[in-house]
A = this chain, B = another copy of it.
């Protein structure tokens, strides 16, 4: 099945909740996925804020898509795929507040465990990474995949070509393959980067990129995988 088939047929059946979707990361992803045909639920602690953000995105899209704002819990409950884009300080609370409605769903964690003020230094939680911590919180019946941590999300809110690949780690190859479809739908290039234990690399890479921005005066350093002739996984 090609991406085109996917976005036209299968994706219409899928609803994606974006928890913390009023932040710039969530907005950018919501915009790209809504455009590709997914049903989007913007979640927030305040449903009012979520409704405002949903309207803003609908305006950008000129109305042809479905973006609805509600609470994090409502959004997670109604969605097939639940994406977390909250600051690390709200990561645990957000997951605890929705974990009862996640059973059997796919959780996509975009969180980077940055601990201010040393955001250019890798500082992982005891679980090993934010994604592994998420897995501990949500339990056995939820597949957890980490992705999109290295992308400058404001670039997603538009037609711009984003010069950054997406490394996808997660609890199973099948779950990673699902998220690779979501990456393609945003127009970016995704890579199966292995098991959930590899999330430390991808989350930590954000601190490395922040460090490079600081040292070299750039603002949106990214990464590209090189020297891989074939693009589809075996």
Contact = CB atoms under 8 A, between A and B. Distances in A.
A223 B191 CA distance: 12
Interface of A: 120-124, 163-164, 167, 169, 191-195, 197-198, 200-202, 204-205, 207-209, 211-218, 220-234
How many copies altogether?
A: 2
A227 B195 contact: no
19 contacts: A121-B195, A122-B197, A123-B197, A164-B227, A192-B211, A192-B215, A194-B208, A198-B204, A198-B207, A204-B204, A205-B205, A216-B230, A216-B232, A217-B230, A220-B227, A221-B225, A221-B228, A222-B225, A222-B227
A218 B229 CA distance: 7
Given A200-B201, A216-B231, A226 B121 contact: no
Contacts of A232: 216
A226 B222 contact: yes
A44 B122 CA distance: 34
A44 B193 CA distance: 34
Interface centre among A194, A195, A224 (most CB of B within 10 A): A194
A200 B122 contact: yes
A154 to B, nearest CB: 13
A130 to B, nearest CB: 14
A194 B206 CA distance: 11
